[in-house]
Structures are given as structure tokens and as C-alpha cells.
Structure 1
């Protein structure tokens, strides 16, 4: 009976979402305050209904209710509890339910925190959000129902895909969806503004916190997914330019451009048309990622579905929202003014440069991701576009942006002085130059481009704090006065510095591990020893173990340095018995920011040996520490009172005066 309750709750959510779409829209268009006032309660009701459906499906997984087809196909009674819960979104149907739950959550949050919005705008935003909810809730009910029953119920389930049975995959999808779906609010604000005809600095201030929230979560989701693939798949890489990786990276690039564009619009009421277009583009790319993962056009460890019927429905939804949004944009864009003017050398000019490079980089990734699919659809020929293409196109685009980043905060609004900014940065440029030259000097045979990359990384890390250094008054001001000035700065200034520095830290990790990593692939028998990066690694042997729903062969490697034992690394090969699928569990030793990485290959037939892959990865963890700093920067900015408060509502006396004037 409880399963039927979840199904009913989802049907009720669809009906309520239809009402959420229609009633606030009509109220906003006719000026009916009562209908507009219904919007928040409708958003809450839709969220509660979908939350009930999600809770019921989670209960079915936790209790191993094998009368539910979705549970049979993706769970097992012996699976650990955390993976029973994460199994809810480890499949197409459940992950779509999570997708819609987060969509409804953001609609409810707009209702909860949108008191400072004009009633008509809030009603219109909630209405657009309701329309998106209608589309995807209907998609779930009619093509991907997670509550389908099976009779008679089997005694045991088929288990979850083994590579998804990991803590990283328990965390990665919810974070990624919070980013993906979070951009729906920016999209809804853009559509509401186009319908209302109100696009100004106040709109930019309202939309920026929602965009920043989605960006922080998407950054976390991409970083977590990268680290999961790095340690779980046993391949030793941190990014493969996989099409589904790209599908999450494209909205991140567009969202980053939107954050900077909205800042220009808020301060100068410039780039109005461009900012609206970016808000549409960021969510459109999120929808594209949803289509790629669930349409069956891609084969990937990230892909959830291979049913072309579902792909056609998602494609129809994608065309409706993207095509409709662009059509509305085309109708309204001619009526939008360009806003304030500014000199090319200014803070605004720097942010425009940022937008040009980021959108061009997005287009580059878009072409590299979809071109093979287009060729296959038109000719039937399968081709692949991999790292060489992206290294040759994406990386050169980003270099000028990385060089320009520290200049931005030092330029004045409207008209800046590039020479004054250079004077403030020369010390940090000297530090970066010394770091690059030192790298080139001490690393024999290092490519010049690698030393240049190290210099750019240091330039970003130190240059990002140049604005704080200047505002503190150091070294002329005393320490006490400087700290007092720094404490008084808006949190968004600190957020900008941390986010830009995090980008530099990630660049340092990428360049260092790419240039200095060492790899060995060899056969080892118990007692064999090898040397790597100053470490002596001895294979002690392997033992068999049994887990709750798998068996594994665990190899033991003793790691020593200069004759002293350092640690023991235990990589493993697992076999999940229900599905009969093997996985590779890497063994990793972290020292400082570097890692010694060991992965097992196949046993050698006829010999007591096993293939072993060893990597020394210097400073590799900086690749993920950088996004952590970027997220901290985003959270600092979100905590800035100017973003939390938004545009203040006028006082009661002011409202009365405005009403009398009208």
C-alpha cells in the first residue's frame, strides 16, 4: 500500500504543478493579487508531494521491497545501507525523481525567500518553475515510473551497478543535480523578466544569489565526480573529456559567465540582453546534459538509460523549453536597451572579456562533444574526439583569461587604469616568474610550456589577493589597521579572492601532475620489489576477503623510503556476486598534496604473478583542493549581506506614498 501512496503523491504533484503553472501566470498577467498570492503555497504543496514520493521510493530500497521493479533491478538485500539509499538515484527512474525533487525544492525556496521580489515577478518565476515541473513529472509518470510493481516478487534483487557502490557516488549525483537544476531558477527569472518586460539592475541582484548557489553546487558535483572516477575506476586519470563529463562542464562554464555578466548588469545596467541569453543558455546546457545521459546516444559509465523512446521525449522537452525561450528572447530583445556605457579598459571591460572567452570555450566543448554524434547520425560512421582536440582548442583559449583574472578586481568601474593595475601586480608577477624559472631550472628536461603553466598557477594564486593587499594598506599601514580594514571589507571581496585563487591552485595541480607524474606497468610476484619516485614498493602477497555482497582479492604492498617503512597500500579486485561484475579498487597513499597510486590488473596465466600499475602523482590533490577553495569563495559571497538581502523593500510610508502617487 505504501508504494501506491508514493505513486499517488507523484500524480498529485503533477496536478498541483499544472495549477502552479496556470494560476500564478494568470494572476500576474491580469494583476489579480489573490491568484498571485497562491503561488508560494502551490510551490510548497508540489515540493511536499514529490518529497513524499521520493521518501516512499527510499523506503522501498531500505526495506528491500522486491515487489517494486525499480528496487529489483537496482538493489540487493545484502547491500550496505548507505548504498541502498544511494541506489535510489543510481538508476534512471530514481535519479529523475531526485531531479524533479530538487526542481520543486528550488521553486519552494523562491516562494520562501522571495518576499523582496515584486509580487508579479515572483508569481511568474514560480509559474515558469511549475511548467518545468509539469514536463518532467509527466515524463516520469508516463515513461519512467519508479513505482511499477512486479508479481510475483522475487526473493532477491539484481544489485546496483558495482561501480556505483561507492561513497563518492552517494554524494556526487545530488550535488551535481543541485547545480544542474539550480540553473532552472536563473532560467525562470529570465523568462519571467522577458514576459514582464522588466529587466534592470534589481533583476540582476535578485538572480545572482540563485545563480551563485547553483554554481557552488555544480562546482562541488564536478569535483566530486572527477575524484570518484580517479580513485574508483583504477585508471589513474582525473579528467577524460568524456562526453558526459563535458555535459556537466558546459553549464558550469556558461554559469560562470552568467555570474560575471550579472555583476556588470547590477552595477552598470549594461549587458542586459547578453545576461538574459546566458541565463537561458546555462539551463539549456543542463537540459542537454540530461538528454545526453538518458537518451541512449552515449555509452558511458555515467549514462543511465539506453531507451530511445525516453530519449525522444526528453528531446521534445528540450526543444520546447530551449526553442520557446529563444523565440521569446527574439521577440523581446529588440525592446531591451543596452544600458550604461563603459570604457574598454574598466572593470566592466574585463568582465566582458571574461564572458567572451568563457562562451567561446563553451562553444569549443559543445562542438567537440556533439560533432561525433552528428557525424554518426548523418553517416553512420563512428568517430571519437578526445583529449588532443580539447588540448589544442580549449587550453589556448583559457590562457589569456587566466592571465587577465588578477587584473579584473583592480580596475575601476566605468574607466580603469591598466598601468596602475600593473604597478600593483608587479610584485606578484615577479613571484610567478621566479616560480616558473625555478621549476625550469630544477626539473631536467621539463617542457617550457609546463614551466609557463606553473608560473600562471602562481600568478593566479598570489595575484588573486592583490586587491586585498591594496585595500589593507600594507605595508604602509600598520598590522592592526590593515587587519581592521580587511575585516571591514564586504564578504564578496573575500569570496572573489578565494574563488580566483582556487582556480590557480587547480591549475598548479593540473600542470604539476601532467608534467612530473611517473608511471610503471609491470608483473609482480610475492616478494618482488620496484622503485618509483624514491619509494621502494614490495609486493607482499594477496589474500581473499568477503564483503557484504562481494568477494575480493586484496594485494598488500609495503612502501618504504631510505630503508624505513612508510605505509602499506592495499589495492583490490572485487567481484560482485549478484551481477558477476568485477571492479578495481585502487590503493592510494597520500603524502602532502602528492599521492602514490597502485591499481591491480589481471593475473598472469601460468605464473604466480599479477599485473600492477603504479603512479607517482605529485601535487595531484591540488586539482580538487582548488574547487574546494572556489566553493568557499562562492559561500563567502553568498553570505554577503548585499546578496542575502537583495533589493530592500520600501518602507510602509514610502509604499503609501507610491500608492497615492499612482
Structure 2
């Protein structure tokens, strides 16, 4: 009965979504205020019924209702309760329902938090979100329902959740990622609404910016957690493989990063208007493209949901409608758009424009490297591989001008600058970066390659340049304490983002250059040396979990005569399906990780082990968290919570 209630609730949500698509858009077109006023109630009702449907699926998983096909294939009675909840998005159908929940949630939030907007713009934004909801609800109800029954014959036990997904990271990674993906639909909706209204000015950019920043923050955090999950769970010691599914999340993030910078320029200076709209369309379109890549069955990946190709065709068709419709409307309106501001070559506007160019070029590189092998194979031309060396080389080339510009950008003023105003800050920052980096690396490592020195210097440069700018802006007010208090939250968001990226650049560079690993065969009592640490193998003990058994290799880590830690690297065998999984043991530190993976049992009581020493690897995730915080800080800026001024309303109309 509960699964039927879930399906019925989703059907009612579909009806409300259709009405949300039609009523406000028609009302805005005809000037019918009654139809426009219906939009918020329809949005909230849609969310309520989708939430009820999702709750029904969670209930079916928690109660081990194996008459439901989805529960039978993705859960089991032996799963801990929190992984039973996780199983509701551990398969294709449940993940799509989670997407729908996020879509309806964002739509309801827009309905509640945009009361100050003119009704025409508010109605069009909600109408576009309603249209997107209709597309995914049709897809779910017709092709991907998680409520199908296995009656009258059903299994007494489920197939269990994929062991790869039985990890704390997977409890939060997909919801965060989907919050980012779907949140970009709000930026898309604002852009389409502005195109429909014909008012592409800085007003729509101001109203769209906090929504876009929030979605970008969630997407950043989701990617960061996903990278940490791959590092901790897959047992290979890496954190990014340039897998097509990983790339599918990176592409919208790169374009969304360009978008938030472009929105800033459009809001404050009234320029880049058409470019900003194009980025908003592209960011959400790439989210849909990522969904197609993951769910079409055209790739094989530990992240992918290889499913019926018909589902992929539906998503591809929906993608064509969204992208084609958005670009067609853009083409009709773009000739009416005129920039208001004027600026010289040496200005913040140009710096942010170049920032956008680098990010878009990076996106095109990832897009080419991801799709070309797929297209090549589908055309019957054989298999080609575009992997880590290609992406690493291309991104290394782009990083140099991008990081240099990122350090200089905050120094620049709007409109134009004089070299005398910039030279002291740039020279001091550059010299300090070189001196600090050289002192750091040459005192810590015997070999420092030119590439490592350059990349680390760039990370240090971004960090130092950010704090030089912070000091100079705060010192203008005489008192540093007073000056810091007067800096706006949007500025602090920039500081967090740039400092976070500095951590990411340094972390990637140093862990790539100085990570070391060693494969060893050890018997109890044997000691292996790696860098300044000794690893003493104590033996193997039996382990037992809620739904798995196996062995844990016990290793004591020493540094000289001092015990640093004791690691327990596991080799698990899951009861249902008899799948084997490696659970790495990690001793995490601010400047290094000690990473241990247990291999196979060898002859004469020996075991194979892989030991890693990974310096500064954790800086990447610290940086990712700082970057994501930049997306949330701006929510507390009073400018984006205040009602629009009269002149803004008039421009929007």
C-alpha cells in the first residue's frame, strides 16, 4: 500500500508540475495576475507530494519490503538502517527520485524566497522550473519508477547495496552533488525568464547571483566529498581519475565558476550581459549532459548507472529541448542587449573576462576528452583512450596564466587602473611567493623539479596576493579592525574561494610530486621502511560487520622508537553476493597521510600490502571545503535579502 501511495503522490506532483508550467507563464504573457499568483502554491504543493513519494521509498527500504523491485535489487535485511536510507539513491530509479526531490525543493524555495520580485518575473522563473519538473517527472513515471512490484513472486532477501556505496561518503555525496546540479536550474530559469521579459540588465543578475552561488557551493562540496570517497574507499591511493563520470560533474562546475564571476560583473557594472545569460544556459545544460553520460549506459564506470538505452535517449531528447529552446530564445533576444559600462584593458572587468575564457577553455578540454572516445566508439571507429596524461598536461598549461591572473585580479579597480597603483603589490607578492616557496621546498625535499617549483609558487602566490589585497582594503579605514568589519560578505566569499584554491593547487602539486608507495610481502613481525616511518606487520585478525566478514591486517607504524599509530587495513567479504572489498587504513595528518591497503594472502603465512606516504593530500579537501563555503557566505549578505528598489522593479518590467 505504501509504494502505491508513493507512486500516486508522484502522479499528483506531476499534475501540479504541469499546472506550474502552464499557469504562471500564460499569466505573465497575458497579464493575468490571478494565474501568476497561483505559482507559489503549486510549487509548494509539488514539493510536498514529491517529498511524500520519497518518504514512501525510504519506508519501503527500512521495512525490507522486497515486493518492491527497487528495494529487492538495492537493499537487504542485513544492511544497517543508515545504509538502507542510502540505498534509496544507490540505484538509478531512486537517484532520479532524489533528483526530483531536489528539483521540487529548489522550486518551492524560490517560490517562498522571491516574494519581493515583480510578479511577471517571479511567475516566469517558477514556470520555467515547472517545465523542467515536468520533463523529469514524465521520465520517472514512465521509464524509471522506483515503485514497481515483484508480485506475486518476490525474493525473501534483497541483493544488497553495492559494497562500494556502503561508505559514509556516499551518504552525503549524491545529495550534495544533486543539490548543485539541480540548483543550477534556478540560474537557468532566471536567465530564461529575463530573456522572455526582454530585460537583460544588472537587476536580474543581482537576484540570480545568490541562488547561483549557493548551487555552486553545493556542487563544490559534492565534488570534494566524492574525491575523498574515491581516495578512502577504492584502495588505490588516488583522488581523481579523470573518469567520464567525474568529468561529468567537473564540467558544470567550471562553467558555474565562470558564471558567478560574470554575474558579479553584470550586477556591478552592467556589462557581459549576453555572455552571462549564455553561461547560465550552458551550466545547467552541462548538468543534464552529465546525467545523460551517467545514466545512458554508454560508459562503464564504478560511478555509472548502466541502464536501458531508451532512458538515455529520453534524457538526450530532453537535453536537446532545453538547450535548443534556451539557445533559440537567446538568439532572438541577444541583439537587443547592450552593455552600459565602459572600461579600459587594465581593469577588473577584463581580468574577470579572461578568467571566464580560461574556465570555458578548460571546460571544452574536458568535454572533448570525455566525449571523443565515446563518439569514436559509437561510430564504429574502434576504441581510443584519452586519459590522465592528456588532462594533466592541458590543465597544467592553463593553470599558469589563470593563477597569475587570480592573484592580480583583486588588486584591480573597475573601469581602469594605473600601473603605479599595481606595481608595488604585484612585485612584493611575487617576490614573497618565490622566496617562501624556495625556502619551503628546498628545506623539505632533496629534489625539486622546475614544474613542482612553478606550480607550488603559483599556489603560494594566490594565497599571498589575497592577503595583500585584504590588508590594503582594510587599512584604508585607518584601523585594521574597523576596516575588516566594513568589508562586505561578497568580498569575504572571494577571499575564501581564492585561499581555498591556493590550498588545492599546493595540495595537488605536492602530493603528485612527492607521494611514494611500496608493495611488500610481509609475515607477522616483519618491518618495512618507507620514508622516515617503519611499518611492523602484527598479523591478521578476523573481523565481522553487520553484513560482512573478512580479515584486517594490523600494522604498527613507528618513527624511530616512537609509536605513531596502529592501522587496520581490511579485506571484506560481503555475505550477499560474496563480493570482496578493500578498506584502506589511513592515518590522516595536516601535512601527510599514511595509507595502507591489504592485498591477497600469499604462501607461508605472508600477506601482500601496499603502503603509501602522501604529503599534503588533505590540503585538497581543506581547499575544497573553503571554496564551497564561499558559495554559502554570500547568503548572509543583506543586499540579497532586501526588497528590490523601485528603479530595479521598473527595469525588470
TM bucket (normalised to shorter chain) is over 0.9
Spell out the pairing of 1:191-590 with structure 2 (5 A cutoff).
191-439=192-440, 441-442=442-443, 443-473=445-475, 477=478, 481-590=479-588
The reply to whether residue 65 of structure 1 matches residue 65 of structure 2 is yes
Where does the alignment leave 5 or more consecutive residues of structure 1 unmatched?
Answer: none
Distance 1:417 1:19 in 2: 56
Distance 2:325 2:292 in 1: 17
Distance 1:118 1:23 in 2: 16
List per-residue Cα deviations over 1:600-645 (Å, max 9, x = no partner).
12222x3322211111011110010001111222222221112333
Question: Normalising by the residue count of structure 2, what TM-score does the alignment of the two structures yield?
Answer: 0.97
Which stretch of structure 1 is more off in the superposition, 360-369 or 488-497? 488-497
The reply to whether residue 633 of structure 1 matches residue 630 of structure 2 is yes
Contact 1:530 1:537 in 2 (8 A): yes
Which stretch of structure 1 is more off in the superposition, 187-196 or 132-141? 187-196
Q: CA offset at residue 541 of structure 1?
A: 0.4
Q: CA offset at residue 343 of structure 1?
A: 1.1
Distance 2:132 2:208 in 1: 18
Give the match's secondary structure for 1:571.
Answer: strand
Contact 1:116 1:649 in 2 (8 A): no
Aligned with residue 604 of structure 2, among 603, 607, 619: 607
> Which residue in the other structure is 1:179 paired with?
180
Distance 1:94 1:471 in 2: 49
List per-residue Cα deviations over 1:164-223 (Å, max 9, x = no partner).
011100100000000001000011111111111111110000110111000000000000
Distance 2:27 2:386 in 1: 50
List per-residue Cα deviations over 1:260-295 (Å, max 9, x = no partner).
111111111111110000000000000000000000
The reply to whether residue 648 of structure 1 matches residue 640 of structure 2 is no
The reply to whether residue 45 of structure 1 matches residue 45 of structure 2 is yes
> Which residue in the other structure is 1:81 paired with?
81
Q: CA offset at residue 492 of structure 1?
A: 1.3
Distance 1:537 1:440 in 2: 26
Contact 2:215 2:631 in 1 (8 A): no
Contact 1:36 1:120 in 2 (8 A): yes
> Which residue in the other structure is 1:165 paired with?
166
Distance 2:338 2:486 in 1: 36
Give the match's secondary structure for 1:464.
Answer: helix
List per-residue Cα deviations over 1:528-586 (Å, max 9, x = no partner).
11111211101100011111111121010001111111110001011111121111100
Contact 2:295 2:305 in 1 (8 A): yes
Aligned with residue 615 of structure 2, among 607, 613, 618: 618
Contact 2:298 2:306 in 1 (8 A): no
When the two chains are superposed, the root-mean-square deviation of aligned CA atoms in Å is 1.6
Q: CA offset at residue 439 of structure 1?
A: 4.3
List per-residue Cα deviations over 1:465-502 (Å, max 9, x = no partner).
2221002228x94xxx2111111211111111111011
Q: CA offset at residue 418 of structure 1?
A: 4.1
Q: CA offset at residue 394 of structure 1?
A: 2.0
Give the match's secondary structure for 1:578.
Answer: coil
Where does the alignment leave 5 or more consecutive residues of structure 2 unmatched?
Answer: none
Give the match's secondary structure for 2:20.
Answer: helix
Contact 2:526 2:537 in 1 (8 A): yes
Give the match's secondary structure for 1:239.
Answer: coil
Give the match's secondary structure for 1:334.
Answer: helix
Which stretch of structure 1 is more off in the superposition, 278-287 or 266-275? 266-275
Runs of 4+ in 1 over 4 A off after TM superposition: none
Give the match's secondary structure for 2:604.
Answer: coil
Q: 1:569 to 1:440 in 2, by over 3 A?
A: closer
Distance 1:310 1:634 in 2: 33
Distance 2:575 2:385 in 1: 34
Q: CA offset at residue 380 of structure 1?
A: 4.3
Q: CA offset at residue 326 of structure 1?
A: 1.1
Contact 1:435 1:454 in 2 (8 A): no
Q: CA offset at residue 392 of structure 1?
A: 1.8
List per-residue Cα deviations over 1:504-532 (Å, max 9, x = no partner).
01111111111111110111111111111
Contact 2:14 2:138 in 1 (8 A): yes
Distance 2:144 2:419 in 1: 56
Q: CA offset at residue 419 of structure 1?
A: 4.1
Contact 2:300 2:306 in 1 (8 A): no
> Which residue in the other structure is 2:91 paired with?
91
Distance 1:365 1:399 in 2: 18
Give the match's secondary structure for 2:193.
Answer: helix
> Which residue in the other structure is 2:5 paired with?
5
Q: CA offset at residue 593 of structure 1?
A: 2.9
Contact 2:474 2:487 in 1 (8 A): no
List per-residue Cα deviations over 1:348-386 (Å, max 9, x = no partner).
111101011111111111101101011101124111111
Q: CA offset at residue 649 of structure 1?
A: 4.4
Distance 2:339 2:12 in 1: 44
